[in-house]
Amino acid sequence: MSGFGDATAVKQVGEGRYEIVLDGGYAIGEALNGGYLMAVLARAAVDASPHAHPVSTATNFHRVAKAGPAEVIVEPRKEGRTAAASRVALVQNGRTAIDALITTGTLDAAAEPDWSGEAPPAIPPLEECSDLHPPAGRGFADQVDMRFDRSTMGWLDGQPTGRPEVRGWFRHRDEYAIDAYSLALAVDALPPVALNLGAKGWAPTVELTWHMRAVPVPGWLAVHGTGRLLADGWFDEEVEVWDAAGRLVAQSRQLARVPRTGP
């Protein structure tokens, strides 16, 4: 493994106990990206499970996790033929920063859907999208290659669209092959959809639940973010991730906070 693989690798040091040095390259400011942290938790959960994939993850973010040493604790709750469930916690400096209930299963990469709803509107081709990569050394944006649908990025020019939506293409800059852990990162990689409603500043996630729906094929992921309500400093965000074969491979919903801008 290299890049993202190394950054999310956990080392077992006891039964249900893993160590990791969290990689500051996945930070936005000082806070590590929630998708990166969920990928770390997923690796530990899968390592402790007889199943290969993190099919459901319900995560609570209690405090900011920062670059440096941390411990992941996996407590099994159920183990069955088709699924296993564990409570997984990230502990840093003696305090629980994140905990999650992770259900693992083994998905068939060749499985075809029995039914699927309509795909969201197509994202413009890569050459028609904006690459917002800032100068090197800016953390998270150095790790992910994202090309955004310009029609959903009005907030950048001080002209929010008034619609809570952001969408774009996603892959790793280090060319790490897209896998289940990449999906954990992708569902939390978009700028907050509330920015297009006039919100400003950091929008910390309080709770995020995501589901792995299929094993992704190699290639760019199409990531679609939408929302339903911004009220009293709280907003929701729903994300769908589609792979290069046009299959829905991940879904998420999160609840997050935004700074109040009014009286």
Domain range list for the chain:
4-107+119-257
List, for residues 103-113, the tens digit of each pLDDT value.
Answer: 999 999 999 99
Cα of first residue to Cα of last residue in the chain, in angstroms, is 50
Class of domain 4-107+119-257: mainly beta
List, for residues 20-66, the tens digit of each pLDDT value.
Answer: 999 999 998 889 999 999 999 999 999 999 999 999 999 999 999 99
Q: State which amino acid sits at residue 167.
A: R
